[in-house]
Structure 1
């Protein structure tokens, strides 16, 4: 954790601070401090340091709750509270946050998706709540039972409107992205959107595109967020709630990841370059050559992103937290998605020894 009183390191202070070692990893000790604006005032407060959570009203009875690493939310209605998720890192602090602002009971819980790091403490809401989730989420929880994640009582396939005590939430499933069953939850009156594990406001996401399963659809979901008329985004992770500006910033960062990964594949999958890398260790060490090939592409894509001047003239390390440690993982994952999920430019013709692209 950075010292809030220490001046942030910039490229002008430490030339080459984003240095890359021969495996494509940023070198130890050369990570810049996180951008100063990454840490909101609550993070340094005595209350947060003591209690371990922060609760803040976004608009119209819609509250955001964070542990500083995981986010959840709740909405106070005339008839009770609708909770969204229950990360174990918040646990009973979700109840404490609700009790900070209302004495009304929790009547409904919405599961954003089935992953335990976001709903693994849902049993804290008790046995008498209605639990709303996508049907795939219920299927997965039936397959892998967990007393901390009670089964949904209400499921839907594509769209579902939940109205409780004068508050309306619009739930939508647009297909697998981060995982099957991950849904969009929109409060139109408050202009608050909840979409978990697609971006991390002010930061690179956790490694491998937040451990997402369908990377092409995960990219699509970033743009689907921007189709909503929202002022606030509950995104699931890190220090702050999202805004349209922060979502656009994340979209730009991951566009650069995709650009660098595609360029790396184009360059290192030419038959001459590829065969040279594969054969250097010898034919009897094929997997060593394969690792060298992957490392070469990760090196290229990582360097491309970390050295590129972004749309406002700054480096990504000056705009987002975590990019010098996470970019290499994103580069690998996005390269794999290009190879596995996106159209191939060519295929081997009959009688050819080596196609123009082997990726």
Structure 2
């Protein structure tokens, strides 16, 4: 594929990444099911994490279901899994799905929920229902039951603790905890063993998203259902993800506070002001990326050795976290009356 075919926008578009510039995925994110032919044969992998609590994945998206003795509770319904989730449930039990819990309103995680039929009870946060009602989608039926802060779903003695701690990845994104199984579901915060997807998984509140790592660690769990990528998570995965994110956050603070002068603005000239803005923000993000990926982390490795995709995705996280620092946190100072000071008040 030529560069022109890949990027017809030329200088106005994104450059093509060269796979040769990036390391292979670490072995710890390549579980056996990726290589034993299961995905090619069935399209999914299902695994029991605890008594009756099952994890379902196709190596890109994951979800879960729980046997209750009075039916099945499904957690999310990613369209990328689609009816393969039904196949996974049928592989384990003949019991019908009676309840569906929506983690949040995004279509990539609940966009196949209509496959469960019209008789299921659907539980979500109030905000999730409001958003789905505002932008209706027949593939995402409206929740039948909602809550605002805390709720307990009890089906046949199987209890799920539902909690909303404020906006993070998006408004209405909830924590779903099963104490008896020691399994926590927290979607689009951590991708176990991986750097998350572009721009902190396209999160809408970076500050809340960063805080969510600490909120996850407040729970006592053995397994984490995270929504992505190749495996379920452990507490150690969350600790590593938190360290990575806080490294980016700390470097963002440092780089913004060190910024001086307007050389790039002078270079751009007054007629092309946004080229200065693009170059300045990208320069800062590049510096944060460099500091993050060249540092030695707490276990003696670089992040490219600890997290798959860190070499690709860190620059996007650096850009978004740096921008969230600029927008959500104190500026430390402001322009006084008179001529502009020789400092970029970020």
TM-score interval, normalised by the smaller of the two chains: over 0.9
More relative contact order, 1 or 2 (CA 8 Å, 6+ apart): 1
Deviations 1:124-144 (A, max 9, x none): 111100000001100011111
Deviations 1:3-30 (A, max 9, x none): xxxxxxxxxxxxxxxxxxxx99976521
Is 1:277 aligned to residue 261 of structure 2?
no
**2:314 counterpart (310, 317, 327):** 327
Q: What is the CA distance between 1:296 and its match in structure 2?
A: 1.0
Deviates more, 1:58-67 or 1:252-261: 252-261
Q: What is the CA distance between 1:183 and its match in structure 2?
A: 0.2
SS at 1:200 equivalent: coil
Aligned to 2:278: 291
Alignment of 1:79-94 (within 5 A): 79-94=70-85
- Taking the aligned partners of 1:311 and 1:148, their CA distance within structure 2 comes to 44
Deviations 1:317-340 (A, max 9, x none): 111100111011001000110111
**1:33 counterpart (12, 24, 37):** 24
SS at 1:229 equivalent: coil
Aligned to 2:341: 354
Deviates more, 1:279-288 or 1:69-78: 279-288
Aligned to 1:310: 297
Is 1:339 aligned to residue 326 of structure 2?
yes
Q: What is the CA distance between 1:351 and its match in structure 2?
A: 2.8
- Taking the aligned partners of 2:270 and 2:315, their CA distance within structure 1 comes to 28
- Taking the aligned partners of 1:112 and 1:65, their CA distance within structure 2 comes to 15
Aligned to 1:252: 243
Deviations 1:232-277 (A, max 9, x none): 1000000010100011011111111112222221222x2x2xx112
**2:212 counterpart (178, 202, 221):** 221
- Taking the aligned partners of 1:202 and 1:331, their CA distance within structure 2 comes to 18
Alignment of 1:136-151 (within 5 A): 136-151=127-142
TM-score (norm 1): 0.90
- Taking the aligned partners of 1:353 and 1:128, their CA distance within structure 2 comes to 65
Q: What is the CA distance between 1:299 and its match in structure 2?
A: 1.2
Aligned to 2:63: 72
SS at 2:286 equivalent: helix
Deviations 1:134-159 (A, max 9, x none): 01100011111111000000000001
Aligned to 1:16: none
Matched-pair contact (CA < 8 Å) for 1:24–1:328? no
SS at 1:280 equivalent: helix
**2:160 counterpart (160, 169, 176):** 169
The alignment covers a number of residue pairs equal to 333
Cα distance, 1:253–1:25 mapped onto 2, change above 3 Å: farther
Matched-pair contact (CA < 8 Å) for 1:24–1:298? no
Runs of 4+ in 1 over 4 A off after TM superposition: 23-28
Aligned to 1:236: 227
Deviates more, 1:26-35 or 1:179-188: 26-35
Aligned to 1:58: 49
Task: Extract unaligned runs of 5+ from structure 1.
Answer: 1-22
Is 1:107 aligned to residue 98 of structure 2?
yes
Matched-pair contact (CA < 8 Å) for 1:346–1:357? no
**1:45 counterpart (29, 36, 43):** 36
SS at 2:232 equivalent: coil
